[in-house]
Structure 1
């Protein structure tokens, strides 16, 4: 496995998107877009990319905040950096995020990827849902995605498999929002929802105070099986 920082062309020629890329040792026709949380392409996101590359996937993590805070790397366990991240989230336009995912899909296909999936966390979980509704990505996984309950009117456009991991004690996605997600998506033949009873937002972080090891291992195992099936 090898890794490097690169730039890829933005979707609508507005610039170059910084990204972290991890390549497997052998050429692969399968690829994963790792969509960051509100903390940027930090060590945890790079670790997730490296893990996918070690399993034979070409992995890329685009810098979501490149338009106004390029290179931001924040630690959710540091209060000042957590508040900074919430500030970035407040000024972020998720429609731009979908364009950046589309740019990543196009770049990965230019590198020989025939099947492309995405896995996102928090804000990235929302963008994974939006990628499933707005792009032709082959498979999508979202962990504790925020605001999905406000975008259920797009669910009719989901054409490829989508999996969402939902911690029931998520302090950013309350019980009412979770109920709306289930009501809107449980009947959809392309969507799989998994609840994690008693777990909170961020439970699948690679490290830090938020991680729940048992929950993370369970969710990650489901994600790996999902991609093994749908990106084969």
Structure 2
């Protein structure tokens, strides 16, 4: 894993690794790029690099560092897919949110970038929702977030803009879960939901066969405009 930075934990008793891509000149804002269950792999690093090319400071924390730092797993190898799912099942999401808070603080205090956005994929889409509800992140975007329907009781705490990209044929998020998300969030003044008819989980992945080019370009364009409006 090509991490190049260590970020202090919130309580200051240690550090966790992150991949950081910096733009040329003064950043227009910062984007935390939240990994899928496969680690800060080539695809996530590529997304961070793309945000840096657009003028943002991009920070991709290693979510599973307490379990096994530096993992890079493939969704196309069954044993690695199962290992990745195991890491997610063992992950303490509440403790992980403290790492997200630590990253926000580090960006604002150490890097002197005030406006911070968050974009996450799969498990990271769930974390995007959690960040919107539990932190003072300026704007969040979740791609094919899992288990959001089980956290709708936190929607009252969402005070900053949140965008969710929902592929209708997501084999990890049932039609019933999608329906619950729409019923719970469609009327929320800070939340925007976009459906992608017939697309599956992972449609915006940078590498591999999961990617749908047209769907990824549409979602990424919406995300870029969203951050331009709310981050800078």
TM-score bracket for the superposition, by shorter chain length: over 0.9
5 Å-filtered alignment, 1:39-50, equals: 39-50=38-49
Partner residue in 2 for 1:34: 33
Partner residue in 2 for 1:60: 59
Partner residue in 2 for 1:210: 210
Runs of 4+ displaced beyond 2 Å? none
Q: Measure how far apart 1:27 and its partner are.
A: 1.6
Contact 1:29 1:114 in 2 (8 A): no
5 Å-filtered alignment, 1:31-180, equals: 31-110=30-109, 111-180=111-180
SS at match of 2:141: strand
Q: Aligned equivalents of 1:24 and 1:118: distance in 2?
A: 17
Taking only aligned residues, the RMSD between alpha carbons, in angstroms, comes to: 1.1
Per-residue CA distance 1:7-60 (angstroms, 9 max, x = gap): 000112342110000000112140000000000000000000000000000000
Per-residue CA distance 1:47-83 (angstroms, 9 max, x = gap): 0000000000000000000001111111112222111
Contact 1:20 1:62 in 2 (8 A): yes
SS at match of 1:17: strand
Unaligned runs of 5+ in 2: none
Unaligned runs of 5+ in 1: none
Give the TM-score of the pair, scaled to structure 1: 0.97
SS at match of 1:189: coil
Give the TM-score of the pair, scaled to structure 2: 0.97
Q: Aligned equivalents of 1:44 and 1:12: distance in 2?
A: 30
Contact 2:28 2:55 in 1 (8 A): no
